[in-house]
Structure 1
Amino acid sequence: MNNLLDYTLEELKTWMKENNESAFRSTQILSWVYKGINEFDNMKNIPKPLISKLKENFTISLPTIIEVYKSDIDGTEKFLLGFEDGNLIESVLMRYKHGNSICISTQIGCAMGCKFCASTIEGRVRNLTTAEILAQVLVVQNYINERISNIVLMGSGEPLDNYDNVIKFLELVSADYGLNIGQRHITLSTCGLVPKIYELADKKLSITLAISLHAFSDEKRKEIMPIANKYSIEEIMKSCKYYISKTNRRITFEYALVKDVNDGREDAKALGKLLKGMLCHVNLIPVNEIKENTFKRSSKKTIDDFSEILKSHGIEVTIRREMGSDINAACGQLRRSYIKTQKIEGRMKW
């Protein structure tokens, strides 16, 4: 059975024609789907014979909301979502004055092995389908009964390691027949899969590309990010400059500050020299402390000093505001905690 959320308008039109149905019904059907209707019987302007045919061939499958945790500090909501195969993912809703933002996952687990990230500890279980990525936005939007206007692909998983499904998701979520979320309101974060950055650049999308850099040298980067053993910073910089030349879009470099690892004044100066003159900005991230490693976050003074040094090199800098710190809002933490509890208490899968 095919999940209707995997279908573009053109693909559904093709199916309609192949099944002797009017192609214009495709727009009506998808309109219902993106309004939050996931039962074919509730699509009031669709003929019953077509509804029967749709039921025989399609599902509109959304994950089950297992738990919702709401921060008492800033209202951030973390959703633990379950799929029919028993796998779990997390999505995080963040409320800002400029609108609702959602951080979504692209894989169950992650194969990249970054030492500061909880979602990669047990490796990658599988890729999410296009429908499963899209469904996170739909199920949360339906739950809050408010429009989501910004998307960050920065949850569990490496988006460019699930390239085809992510690209199709970007097409669907920004389509005018769908959620119509403009690509300029979407950020894709990658640890730096160089060949895929080139592929993405050639598509000339309007999304924001964020590179998880976290170090100025290959030696330091290898200490915390295994991907640095495959792609050097020089290769990443070349791919980023190519991306900028193709899209004219500013790149964000994410830099998680780890106490006594990559947060020194010399680190800041070297990073400033590396990025000077690029169309970019740096997002400094106080590292999320997890019990599986000994990394500690830098002090506020260290972070502020790091920021000022970068600014002195002419680089725009932001310091990420910590959201949902009281609900384990960092990617992977909630899923691991929930699975561990289930195992300890001997429960069946949700």
Structure 2
Amino acid sequence: MAPMNNELMTLTLPELTGLIEAWGFPRFRAKQVHEWIHRHHCTSFDAMSNVPAPLRQRLAQEYPFEEFSPVDRQVSIDGTRKYVFKLNDGCLVETVGMPTHRQDGIIERLSVCVSSQVGCPMACAFCATGREGLTRNLQAGEIVQQIATVQKDFEARVSNVVVMGQGEPFLNYDEVLSALRMVNSADDLHIGARHITISTCGIISGIERLSDEPEQFTLAISLHSAVQSTRDELMPKVSQQPLPLLKTALKNYTQKTGRRVSLEYLLIKNVNDSEEQLLALLDLCRGLLCHINLLPMNPVEGAPFQPAAEKTVRHWMRTLEAEGVEISMRKSRGSDIDGACGQLKNRIVSRET
């Protein structure tokens, strides 16, 4: 399997029309090619059955397809599927598809956790990806192809996208936004902006940029502690962007957009689950339009962390609810195939499918 050349994918219809006309073909051919690229996500120019061979040959010459091949596919007992894709330069990237089924077995919701970088530079202590370091940013086409491939594999429409896989999306801002605009477009996957979530460690410049974008993408913050010293230990690469400045940026974001932010909080035993930590979180939430998403601690090879006790989780949920903070507890998906939060990492896999 190969993805469309990123440069070709990111051309608008008017730009593609100008290109094809400059090559001497009728302008209506541009719409046909555009539909094959964005609606059908075709994997070869030969598949463009209503496009004349000379145009297909010119496209192949100018914009050759790039490699995007699945080298591993694992299926969890809960139906989650984790994919490892090999990219044009040999890099590997992981993607997760998470279905929710009706009682009759039909998929009623399909969420895709998509990666934005090969590896990650943030080095968060609880995350396997951060230990691998950053190799490179993903191109917009490589991000879109992850989603399109999962949709084809499940033979079901993707309803939700979360940019929560490998990488820090705001360190690849332009390519991520370009990809999500394609995903959101009625000419492409047509996934509603409010069903697309961007998760960041708290890069303030990215939050400020997103607040000025016209699309209503959802913003999630990997918080994990409202105590500065604890957060610095867990997330050392964002220590230069302290919590007071982060809260100010989030307040400005919510005031400018009218949209709520989601605060992701991984409850870790004897690290960030104390009463002091809870009170600090409550203080951070005051005056902020937000929702707390508590995450289960998933095992990461070599990491010493353990999940907080069930009693602690219940206490946190009761206390936050009593204070009027919206809160939910995310169900872990795909942990048996290392597909859950914090478990994705770049590694060579021996089994190929």
User: Could you state the TM-score of these two structures normalised by the residue count of structure 1?
Assistant: 0.92
5+ residue gaps, structure 1: none
Which of the residues 92, 100, 103 maps onto 2:110? 100
Q: Indicate if the aligned counterparts of 1:201 and 1:246 stay in contact, CA closer than 8 A.
A: yes
User: For each residue in 1:291-342, what CA deviation from the matched residue of structure 2 results, as whole angstroms up to 9, or x when unmatched?
Assistant: 2221111111111111111112210000010101211113674544x42x65
How far the C-alpha of 1:63 sits from its partner, in A, is: 1.4
Of 210, 215, 220, the match for 1:210:
220
CA contact (8 A) 2:119 2:166 kept: yes
1:93-132 alignment runs, 5 A limit: 93-97=97-101, 98-132=108-142
> In structure 2, what residue type is equivalent to 1:28?
Q
SS of 1:287's equivalent in the other structure is: coil
Q: Say whether 1:87 aligns with 2:97.
A: no
Rounded Cα–Cα distance in structure 2 between residues aligned with 1:192 and 1:333:
20
Q: Structure 2, unaligned stretches of length 5 or more? A: 102-107
Structure 1 residue 78 and structure 2 residue 88: aligned? no
Q: Contact 1:252 / 1:282 at 8 angstroms: preserved in 2?
A: yes
Corresponding residue for 2:104? none
Q: Secondary structure at the match of 1:121?
A: helix
Query: In the TM superposition, what is the alpha-carbon distance from 1:195 to its structure 2 partner?
Result: 1.1
Distance verdict in 2 for CA 1:149–1:8, change over 3 Å: farther
CA 1:332–1:210 in structure 2 vs 1: closer, same or farther (change >3 Å)?
closer
How big is each residue's C-alpha offset from its partner over 1:250-299, in whole Å with a ceiling of 9 and x where there is no partner? 10000111100111123112211210232210000122221222111111
Q: Which residue of 2 is the match for residue 191 of structure 1?
A: 201
The correspondence of residues 26-175 of structure 1 with structure 2, limited to 5 A, is 26-33=30-37, 34-61=39-66, 63-72=68-77, 74-97=78-101, 98-175=108-185
Structure 1 residues 270 and 333: alpha-carbon distance in aligned structure 2, compared to 1, 3 A threshold = closer
1:311 and 2:321 correspond: yes
Q: Tell me the secondary structure at the aligned position of residue 293 of structure 1.
A: coil
SS of match in other structure, 1:202 = coil
**Whole-angstrom distance in 2 between the partners of 1:292 and 1:12:** 49
In structure 2, C-alpha distance between the alignment counterparts of 1:309 and 1:335, rounded to whole Å: 35
Structure 1 distance, partners of 2:71, 2:18, is 36
Asked whether the 8 Å contact 1:265–1:305 carries over to 2, the reply is no
Percent identical residues: 39
Contact 1:108/1:156, CA 8 A, preserved across alignment = yes
- Of the three residues 18, 27, 35, the one matched with 1:23 is 27
Cα deviations by residue, 1:39-84 (Å, 9 ceiling, x for unpaired) = 2222122122212211211234351111111111x11111111112
- Distance in 1 separating the partners of 2:269 and 2:18: 56
1:256 pairs, out of 249, 266, 269, with 266
Instruction: Report deviation, 1:99.
Output: 1.1
TM-score normalised according to structure 2 size:
0.91
Q: Which amino acid aligns with 1:207?
A: F
Choose 323-332 or 210-219, whichever is displaced more: 323-332
